[in-house]
Amino acid sequence: MPTILDGKRVAKELQVELKARVDALYLNYVFPVLATIRVGEDHAAVSYEAGILRAAKATGVRVRRYILPADVTTEDVAQLIREINADALLSGLLMFHPLPPQLDEAALTALIAPEKDVDCANANAQSCYIPCTAEACLELLHRYQIPIEGKRAVVLGRSRTVGAPAARLLLKDNATVTVCHSRTQNLPEVTREGDIVIAALGRREMIDAAYIKPGAVVVDVGIHANDAGGLCGDVDYASVGALASAITPVPGGVGSVTSTLLMRHVIDGAERNAK
């Protein structure tokens, strides 16, 4: 049986550590505050917001919510982002997606200041933070003391916010890193080289036992609705779980850690400001 890399457990452990950092900041009258912008009542945005509020509560981070009407203009949202950027009392800014179609999303995210961009939304300017999802993959490996140095790591996917930063983090930990994508030939064969496999292709249950070397550690970034009305990942959990030495479940794996890491970014920002 593989080790289950339990995202909920890791999130709880992290929350205890982060709460202690927030308590220390409070003693110096520094209050980490996350500003959030939600436009309208989109179901996905409202549901993500609820998760953010839970993670904030668990760590002691305050949230200042801006909820704008669904017919707001790009210029009005832009003005709000500029005000948040300029407000030293706000440590981070998260804007929920999707935005209504009349808003110029690329132009708006491009306004978010790198030091406030806790969610790495701005594709034009390098955020001061590491994208939460990539960071969550490494956090799980670290907390379960999975050896990384000198190992072969295969990253499936090269997106700006997941695959590419996950590859950089694995390289920093001295793994030998291979990045695969939709144009990779013989993908099962290449993926079988991996002692560690990060699946972030966004294709439901595509990675089955044929892709995995026995004993490999498998981290599943995907999240999809399955036919039974539940959730599943990029990895076929049943067949891969039988081969892997460790694996993240979906749900309850990578996704359970990300909103807590977002709080870590807010706290990092507040600590940096306090210096």
Q: Which residues bind its own copies (CB under 8 A)?
A: 126, 149-152, 158, 167, 171, 174, 176-181, 183-185, 190, 193
Residue 263 carries which DSSP code? H
Nearest approach, Cβ of residue 232 and its own copies (Å): 26
Phi, psi of 66 (to 5 degrees): -110, 120
Query: Is the CB of 98 or the CB of 215 nearer to its own copies?
Result: 215
Q: Tell me the chain's radius of gyration from C-alpha atoms.
A: 19
Q: How far is the CB of 166 from its own copies (least distance, A)?
A: 13
Q: Do 170 and 155 form a contact (C-beta atoms < 8 A)?
A: yes
200 burial class (0-12, 13-18, 19+ CB within 10 angstroms)?
buried
Let me know: does 221 contact 137? Beta carbons within 8 Å: yes
Residue 206: CB minimum distance to its own copies, A = 16
Closest to its own copies by CB, 85 vs 176, is: 176
When the beta carbons of 127 and 133 are compared against its own copies, the nearer one is 127
Question: Are the C-beta atoms of 54 and 68 separated by less than 8 Å?
Answer: no
Helix (H, G, I), strand (E, B) or coil at 131: coil
Residue 162 or 180: which CB sits closer to its own copies?
180
Cross-strand pairs, 66? 37
Question: What residue ranges in 217-271 does DSSP mark as E strands?
Answer: 217-220, 224-225, 231-232, 246-247
Distance CA 202, CA 156 (A): 9
3-state secondary structure of 176: strand
The least CB distance from residue 110 to its own copies, in Å, is 15
Name which of 4 and 190 has its Cβ closer to its own copies: 190
CB nearer to its own copies: pick between 79 and 174:
174
Smallest gap from Cβ 160 to its own copies, in A, equals: 12
- C-beta of 224: minimal distance to its own copies in Å? 24
For 16, residues 6+ apart whose C-beta sits below 8 A from its C-beta are none
Complex with its own copies: residue 85 or 184, whichever CB lies closer: 184
Closest of 45, 28, 47, 29 to residue 37, by C-alpha: 45
Minimum distance, C-beta of residue 7 to its own copies, in the bound complex (Å): 27
Closer of 54 and 172 to its own copies (Cβ): 172
Smallest gap from residue 133 Cβ to its own copies (A) = 19
Question: d(Cα 184, Cα 165) in Å, to the nearest integer?
Answer: 19
Write phi, then psi, for 52 (nearest 5 degrees).
Answer: -65, -45
